[in-house]
Structure formats: C-alpha cells, structure tokens
Amino acid sequence: MNISVLGAGAWGTAVAMALAAKNEVLMWGRNADAIAHMQARRENTTYLPGFSFPEHLQLTPDFATAMAHIAAPDSLLVIATSVSGLRPTLQACVPYQPGRVIWLCKGFEEGSQLLPHQVAREVLGTSATIGALSGPSFAQEVAKGLPCALTIASTSTALCQQVVQALHGNAVRVYSSDDLVGVEVGGAVKNILAIATGVADGLGLGLNARAALMTRGLAEISRLGSALGGKAETLMGLTGLGDLILTCTGDLSRNRKVGLALAQGKSLETIIQELGHVAEGVRCAKAVRTLAQQQGVDMPIADAVASVLFDGISAQEMITRLLARDAKQEIH
C-alpha cells in the first residue's frame, strides 16, 4: 500500500516508521534542508534522534510528489501536523482530491473550537473518507518497537480495516471505533489534565493528589464528550482513560513537562521556548474553556489550567482554587 505522511515531527516520523514495516511510505516535510539531512542520515536527528529509518520509508520536501504517491484509490494519506496546522494542510490537499485521509493530531482548533474531524469536513466536504488515529503513545517508544495500542476512529468500516491492515502487527495493536467525537475529545482534553497533574507533582502534592486530579479529570472528559455526542464507553477506553493515564504520568509527556515548569514559576513563553516541541494542551485549554462555557459543562480543572496559562494566576493559586470548591456528589 502507498502511504504519504505529511509532517516530519516526532510522532509523524514514528508512525511513518511503523507503517513502513509493511507499506511504501513517503514522508513530506516543508523544510527542504531538514528533509535532505534526514534522507542522508536516515534518521530524524532533530525530533527523533537515535532511530534509523526502515528501507521502505522515503522522504520528500515536494508536496506534489507526496500527493502523487497516493494517487491510487487504495492509497492512504496521513496528516501528522499539529491541530493548528490541520486546516491549512487539508486546504493544500484539496486540488489533489485525496480519497482516504486520517490525522494524528489531538485537540480543538483554536478560535473555532472545532474537533479535527469537523475541520476536515469543512475543508474536504464529503469527497474524502476520513478518520482519526489516536491512543496512548509516545513517539520514542513506538520508534523503539515497544508495545503500543492505538484506535482508528471513522464512520467508514472500510477505512478502519485499511488502517488496521497497514499498521497492525509486530508490537503495534490497532483497534477500531465509529465514535469520532469520543475518540477526539478524549485525546484533546487529556493534554490539559496532564498539565494539571504536572503542576501538582511539581508542587510536591503527592500521589494522592495526582490520582484525584486524574479521576476527576476523567469525569470532566466524560461530561464534555457526552455533551458533544460522544459515547461514554469510548472515554473509558484507550483514547480516553488510557491516554489520560499515559500523558499524566509519563515522563516523556510534553504537557506534563509544561505543568512541572509552571510549578517552578516559569512563564509560558519560557516554557515553550525550552520545550522546543508543540504541547497541544496549551492551545487546547483556551478552546476547551470557551466550549465548556458554551455547552454549560462544568470543567473546573480545565478552567483552572487555562487561568494559569492565560490569566496570570499562579500554579499554587490554581491548586488553592480547586481545593476550595464546595463538596458535591461524586457521580451526578
């Protein structure tokens, strides 16, 4: 199967490497010098150093070449940009009329508060079959060949089967879901909660506090997911609970690192500069706060994180506000 991956960051590279075990994969990146360096070294030394590219992974800085690679009807396009890059990348794809498109990003589009599949439908209409690949996954571990379980979400059974065929095997397991909303909400909101748990850990609040934040955070994910039409069982699966556990506790989590740095009193500008990678929870926090207000959904942890990131309150004040909330029924 011919597959083109648009985006050469850490996760895009890791997925491209995994796909290349069974497919002819062409990865596109906009920086021609960086792509030439990666092709010569057979390694992404900037975002995923130490992992050699497999034989069936090639690279190109030419967008038209990447799209020509998937001209056949049974080909697959994988978009590996951030959420902010999804719309312009899809718009660039429109003249090439891609038939089957999936994306790896997690979050809500800032400004519109749209989920990725809603953005895709706005840009592509019904001309393409679309889906989201999500789940608890760190790029370094996938590149290393360690076990990983992912979910492909689409209303198209044929697309789900195609992605399973392309990626399932060796250490990667791929499950299917028809609940795009639930899968995408889980993947988006868990990043905000990872920032919250990073703050708590950075302040030395202990494992009890971390467990409480994660559990109450899952309730927030479930409330928003249900309000937007997602299925409750999805949010208890890989792309909800599973991704939440990984992102809140794993030391490779960029969003957790943001929380740890906030606890040290660092400014958001400094944190982003030091991180060097996109932490989707930062952009997502503002969008989720707005969306929760519009939907009438109570999300105190997500709101508190947004207040630290954008309203100037301190990490300690965030915790104080959460602890000062009135007691209520746990399940309601």
Q: How many residues does the chain have?
A: 332
Catalytic residues: 190
Question: For residue 88, what are its two tokens?
Answer: 């312009």
Which overall architecture, per CATH, does domain 2-178 show?
Answer: 3-Layer(aba) Sandwich (3.40)
Average pLDDT over residues 276-298: 90
- The closest of 165, 140, 168, 164 to 246, measured between CA atoms, is 140
Average pLDDT over residues 55-79: 97
24-28: strand order across its sheet: 57-60, 24-28, 2-6, 76-79, 100-103, 129-134, 148-153, 172-177
Residue range(s) in the chain whose domain bears CATH number 1.10.1040.10: 181-323
**How far apart, in whole angstroms, are the C-alpha atoms of residue 82 and residue 90?**
12
181-323: in CATH 1.20.120.80 = no
User: How crowded is residue 240: how many other Cβ atoms within 10 Å of its Cβ?
Assistant: 30
Q: Give me the pLDDT at residue 332, please.
A: 61
Cβ atoms of 237 and 228 within 8 Å: the answer is: no
Q: What are the residues facing 134 on neighbouring strands? A: 151
Average pLDDT over residues 229-252: 97
- Which DSSP string do the residues of 221-269 spell out, in sequence order? HHHHHHHTT--TTGGGSIIIIIHHHHHHH-TT-HHHHHHHHHHTT--HH
Residue range(s) in the chain whose domain bears CATH number 3.40.50.720: 2-178
Average pLDDT over residues 36-52: 96
- The closest of 19, 159, 165, 4 to 69, measured between CA atoms, is 4
Does this model's pTM top 0.75?
yes
**How far apart, in whole angstroms, are the C-alpha atoms of residue 257 and residue 254?**
5
Average pLDDT over residues 216-242: 97
Question: For residue 164, what are its two tokens?
Answer: 């399973």
